[in-house]
Each structure stands twice: as C-alpha cells, then as structure tokens.
Amino acid sequence: MASNGDVMGDHTRIILVDDDDLFRESLFQNLTDAGFDVVTFSDGPAALEQITGDDSADLILLDWKMPGMNGIQVLRQIRDNGIEIPVIFLTVLSDQMYEEAALLSGAVDFVEKARSFSILLKRIELILSGAKSKSVEAELESAEEEILRRGKLELRLEMGRAFWEGTQIDLSLTEFKMLHYLVSRAGNDVRYRELYDLVHGKDFVAGPGDEGYRSNVRTFVKRIRQKFRKVDDSFGHIENYSNFGYRWRDDVSSAP
C-alpha cells in the first residue's frame, strides 16, 4: 500500500520501495522533512504498477531484498518499459558483486542502509542536480565549484559530473571517483589496488585470493570506457598495463 507525502508545488517527487516497515517509515519522514514529495510502497508489484502508469517521479529509492519480487527484478522491468527515472539501490548487502549487478542493471548508485541519512541525501542531490539541469551550458554557468579540465574532458568535482566535449557522461559516483583519480594523475601508472581502495577503503579484502580485487576494478573501468565511447567511439584515454593497473593518457588520437 502506498502512502503519500504532502504535495508541495514543484518539489522533487521520490518513490521509495522497501518491505521493512520501520525503515520505510523512518526514511519517509526524513525525506519529507528535507522537502521532498514522497510516495512509498512495501512491495515491487505495487510500485511497478504506479511507475509504469505514471513515470513523472524524479527518483526511485529501491530496496534489494524483498519477498516475491526483489529489487533487481523491479529495476529490470522499469528499464524494459523504457522508463529512465534514476534509481538508487538501498541495501544491507555490502559485497561488491551486488553493487556491480545493480549498476549493470541500470541503477545510478548503490547505498548501504547503514550509512547516515546525510550521506544518502548528498547522493540524491548529486544525482538530481544532473537529471534536472536543462542544459550543460546552463549548469556550467550557474555552478560555482572547482572544475578539472583535460582536453575534451571536464570534471565538475563538487557535483561529481563528467562531460566530454560538452556532453554529460552518466557515471555513477564510484565510476566518477575512479576517473577523477586517473585524470588527476594523468601520465602516471595507477595500480589496481589504488583504484579499489579508493572505493572500498584501504586493505579491504575482495574476491578469492590476494588479487581478487582486480576483476572488480576491471569491471568498473570497462563500464567507464563504454560510456565514453557511446559519445565518442574513438575514446581511448584509459590505458591498461597488464598485471599492474591503468593510466590516463592525453595524447590519444584513436581507440585501441
């Protein structure tokens, strides 16, 4: 069953889907207090009926583990219906395999439920600031923040946004962090472990054996490359050094 926040003019509308009554009600209250219009659902089918019938929401917060229809199934049906509303997964599952599955299925971010509301709110603001900007030019003119430029690339550091020749590249926050790290060290080799620690924290253990983190990093870098090549098929600035890591190169004329 759905419960609606007060309709407040042009305020951002968020759909929250979670089967945990206490968590859902608590987050609903926090979001409402923050000025959002919120609609909540306790299961996937009810949420899907609403979303496919009215895709005017600005953002969906989606629980992973739900009975009957889990969050990944809900997300895939949303995308299969051609609905591109940004989706953030909320979950108690911390293993990187779940984050990868969420992002590969079309989510824009993945936030553990244990994180504070202030962290979630910042993620929401970052995502919505990109989704609601009327144009790249208008956003660039209005923002007062540090911008890192290298050739065709522009990184808006505070907002976590990347642009290639003026076209926004839809990176997740994790992908943006990795890209920023590489670009800020352009021309230098960056180890797999450095990129992994950047996301998960120093000495986090991932996958089987001492080198299990490498496949995780490769997955993220592959996805970053694919997103750039959607707007420029000659993109080849992220170079791989086997058994070591990656390097950002400025002097690239064509993709490898």
Predicted local confidence at residue 96, as pLDDT:
60
173: nearest Cα among 114, 240, 99? 99
Per-residue pLDDT at 180:
93
- Residue 132 has a pLDDT of 44
List domains and CATH numbers for the chain. 3-130 (3.40.50.2300), 136-248 (1.10.10.10)
Cβ neighbours, 10 Å, residue 156: 21
Show the DSSP H helices in the chain as ranges.
21-33, 44-53, 71-80, 96-104, 117-131, 136-142, 173-184, 192-200, 213-229
pLDDT at 3: 41
> What local confidence, expressed as pLDDT, does residue 99 receive?
63
> pLDDT under 50 in the chain at which residues?
1-10, 132-144, 202-210, 254-256
Say how far apart CA 61 and CA 110 lie, in whole Å.
10
Residue 101 has what pLDDT? 67
Which amino acid belongs to residue 1? M
Q: Given the DSSP bridges, would you call strands 37-41 and 109-112 parallel, antiparallel or unpaired?
A: unpaired
For residue 145, what are its two tokens?
């923040």
Cα–Cα distance for residue pair 48/66, rounded to 1 Å: 14
Task: Give the model's pLDDT for residue 29.
Answer: 92
Return the pLDDT at 7: 35
Distance (Å, whole) CA 29 – CA 50: 21
* Spatial separation of the C-alpha atoms in residues 202 and 99, rounded to whole Å: 18
